[in-house]
Structure 1
Amino acid sequence: MPTEIAHPRQRQTATALYNASWCLGAISSAAVTYATIGIENSWSWRVPCLLQISYPLFQMLGLLVFVPESPRWLVSKGRKDEALAILGKYHANGDTDDELVQYEYRLICSTITAEITNATNWATFFSSKGNMHRLAICVLVGLMQEWAGNGLLSYYLAPILSSVGITKAADQAAVNVSLNIWNFLLSVGGALASERYGRRVLWLISTEAMIVFLSVSTLAAGLFAERHLPAAGVAVVPLLFLFLGAYDIAYAPLFLSYPAEILPFQLRAKGIAVTLSVDAVACFFNQYVNPVAFTAIAWRYYCVFVGCLVVFLGLIYFLFPETKGRSLEEVAVIFDENDVNEKKTRGR
């Protein structure tokens, strides 16, 4: 939704901040867990679980009161006057005659009309090279979100800290709170930087930095486990912060905003569903495979994710185009231009 209604100059930042806001829930959850860790009965874990009910309630209230319909959806349903009114309200302080609003409205109408003429279904993803390219990115982003090493560190922070000598529950909870605050600050920084420096640049820098920090973390964890060097165990904690900070500047804010940008309206919901479904499957792997593997080979398991990151870096370099400074309709040209040129060549 932020992608659909945000002002063009704020679209990427607003959409990226949406996913970065996940950290706010993580911070509050970690803080409550830290506060209740001293309770000497089952309420030490019941309270954090029960308080999580409040977030869906706030979300439902916000959807009913604050969130408007997508202007692109309204145009697709023939409710063009409502679409124009929403564009005017959010992009020109209610002035529907504003030059930008009129340009956006005409562009949306022409694009939606063209897309509706060509009916879409799941098979549409395989109808052109451009759409297959989009589908590949949607799948990759879902995989990258969970298999960059962050899944191991996020879900199994406690055993990782125990493996390097930080065994007290209070100390582990304090690290968890601090880590989530760090994640929030870096995710917001990444969301703001994505519009200034570009999405592709952030993807590449983030992945390269993660390779470096996870490799050094693997070395430090190995030195602590094999040679029992206390300094190596202590070094793992700041290295984890640096690794997740590198993750935060691109993977956290761009997880949903980048697929939303590259997908045309008629495929946007389906493409994001693909990304979220792949992410869910990858989460299943994290939940049931990571603990078994980490228990079996400990710090050596980090090497698997270093290898994944190297593969991701190559795929990002060759498959992820820059979308900075373009409207949603203009981004479509990046993917479909080759198909158009190919048709022209055949026509000759």
Structure 2
Amino acid sequence: MRAPSVPLCLPANQPAQFYRGGAAIAALRGANDEPGVPERFGPEDWVASTTALFGRDPDGLSRLPGGPLLRDAVKADPLGWLGRGHVDAFGTSTALLVKLLDAGQRLPVHFHPDNDFARRHFDSHFGKTEAWIVIGTTGEHPTVYAGFREALTAKTVREWVSEQDAPTMLDALNAVPVSPGDTVHIPAGLPHAIGEGVFVVELQQPTDFSLTLEWRDFLGDEARGHLGLGFETALRALDRTAWDEARLSTLRRHPAAAPEPVVDLLAPGARPYFRADRLRPGTPLALDPSFAVLVVVEGEGTLRSGDGSAWAMSTGDTWLVPHAAGELELAGAVTVLRCRPPATGS
């Protein structure tokens, strides 16, 4: 099963979740008039996913045209899908998961383990550092939450979790107003939540390790909050330090007004984990060979290969580009988010 030498347009892939959302994904994909929308369009669309939901394999895995799992296809031909440099650095993992995430309600306060913690407790090479690219908002005060405003003791956090004191946990976080085009890097360990009405493209390491402080009204089961580790162990992965405005500024960028055809969207701290560029080709734009996920957020354009083959793309499309597709050219009045694994050597 060799990797194709052409980009592939992928359908929606939305495993069942515990929270509401999905209308913004349906609107982006132009599916509002279809039966069962937005119910069929859940709050998360896992794009080109080789990652299964925690404890729910194969839910979350993407299938290629004809039915095979992308995970199996990549393992069968990692060089074709990923390229030699990537395979030498990261093996047969894509090292990336991309999601469309539409928060139809506020998400719970939670955090993710880093690579070392994930290796010790989940036998995984990857933890779950992530980043958000805000592509839409609704409501008067769209907000995300990141980092504790004051340093906390382990005893204090354990008490909040034991009592499920949700208002106090949320109030302890920095409330960060966001607008379309803003980006936020979320390092592993950082407590965070996404507010109702915030629609993001999320890049993350390819795992589903979410440790949920505020589990009662969302998960209904304490064990799902700590993923079977027990909170005494899980809380060792939590960043309890204080994040003031100066520290938070290192995680945030506001590149919406940047005029360049290629704009690096994420804060520098995200580069060892993934890359994201906004592409707006005024003239045809060359894209170097790379495994990539392309999310078309606005307009219409064309991808073209060196042999003259062309693929039309439009708002709401999600494209998977194998390394074997080689150099491509992007043209048209289109805005595309190009999401990629970390560069070799990161």
- Shorter-chain TM-score category? under 0.3
Structure ID, larger Rg: 1
Q: Which has the higher strand share?
A: 2
Q: Which has the higher helix share?
A: 1
TM-score (norm 2): 0.27
Q: Which has the higher contact order (CA 8 A, sep 6+)?
A: 1
TM-score (norm 1): 0.27
